[in-house]
Amino acid sequence: MTGRLKKMSVERNRVRAGWLFMLPWLIGLVSFFIVPLLSSLRYSFSDVSISPESIGLQTKFVGLFNYEFILLRDAVFLRSVTDAVLDLLYSVPVVLVFSIFIGLLLNQKFRGRAFMRAVFFLPVIIASGVVMKIIQSDVFTQNTVSEASSLFQTGAIEEMMTRAGLPQSIVSVITAVTGGVFDLSWKSGIQILLFISTLQGVPPSWYEAASIEGANAWDSFWKITFPAISPTSLLVVVYTVIDSFTDVSNPVMMNMLERFSSFYYGFASASAMLYFLAVMLIIGLIFLVFSRRVFHNA
């Protein structure tokens, strides 16, 4: 009986410790997500204005008027959502492949590996989306002719290839790719870290056994590495989708921020709610299409 009570006491302490560890996250969830979400939902059904008599916002219930205006009369919102989705179709695969490639390289044993890992993860620490936008728009836009949107300027490379006699179409493709490499590395820090942590969990004995059986590096990747990182790939895709949709350079985010800055709080909140539903729908489709296949391969 004493042993049973002692076991129950240990289990209770573990439950309490678990809730204590979760408490900061729960406080942040309620304070910075649930409460603002409910406020935005209320504003989306209201005509929100700044009250001249008192400090604060004055709301007037208007029903579905804000949603009707955005969906039926405002062409900017739907066009911005379409542009964001089209951008997602090529940006997510590029980030996924790049993260896997860099993760495989940084998982190898070589001198300076820790330093290179820190280099690829450093942008995540020092640059938020807002800082990245400021850098792109204010610091590195000195070339008023080309108005390059990339942090990595390719003017010298383009000039060199043009003088070498390469066709302009080839020069444009090469400069576009090289110009996006720096931005790509800044957007892939978390994804690379996730793949590295997954690859470190693969037992080396699996590769040794495959090598003894005559498998080359290509066979080992598709038979061992790829199934091992498949669940992480799904996580990386979902994270990249959310990161892309919430980027400040996203046209939908820019449109909503512009509405907020213009004091159209009702329209901005309705746009945010519709955008939130669109993002959840896309993530649901991703899980529906890829989750069974991914976890089956794992």
Whether 14 maps to a domain, the answer reads: no
Domain of residue 154: give its range.
Answer: 62-293
Whether 55 maps to a domain, the answer reads: no
Whether 36 maps to a domain, the answer reads: no
Whether 38 maps to a domain, the answer reads: no
Whether 23 maps to a domain, the answer reads: no
- Look at the chain and report how many structural domains it folds into: 1
For residue 250, what is the domain's CATH number?
Answer: 1.10.3720.10
Per residue of the chain (298 residues), what is the pLDDT tens digit?
565 656 667 788 888 888 899 999 899 888 888 988 898 899 989 888 877 666 677 788 888 999 999 888 888 888 888 888 888 888 888 888 889 998 888 888 888 878 888 777 776 776 555 555 555 554 444 444 333 344 445 555 666 667 777 777 676 766 666 666 667 777 788 888 889 989 988 888 888 888 888 888 888 888 888 888 888 888 899 999 988 888 777 888 888 888 888 888 888 899 989 999 999 999 988 888 876 655 555 5
Whether 211 maps to a domain, the answer reads: yes
Whether 110 maps to a domain, the answer reads: yes
Whether 282 maps to a domain, the answer reads: yes
pLDDT digit string, tens, across residues 138-181: 444 444 433 334 444 555 566 666 777 777 767 676 666 666 66
Three-state SS annotation for the chain:
CHHHHHHHHHHHHHHHHHHHHHHHHHHHHHHHHHHHHHHHHHHHCEEEEECCCCCCEEEEECCCHHHHHHHHHCHHHHHHHHHHHHHHHHHHHHHHHHHHHHHHHHCCCCCCHHHHHHHHHHHHHHCCHHHHHHHHHHHCCCCCCCCCCCCCCCHHHHHHHHHCCCCHHHHHHHHHHHHHHHHHHHCCHHHHHHHHHHHHCCCHHHHHHHHHCCCCHHHHHHHHHHHHHHHHHHHHHHHHHHHHHCCCCCHHHHHHHHHHHCCCHHHHHHHHHHHHHHHHHHHHHHHHHHHHHHHHHC
Q: What is the pTM of this model?
A: 0.72
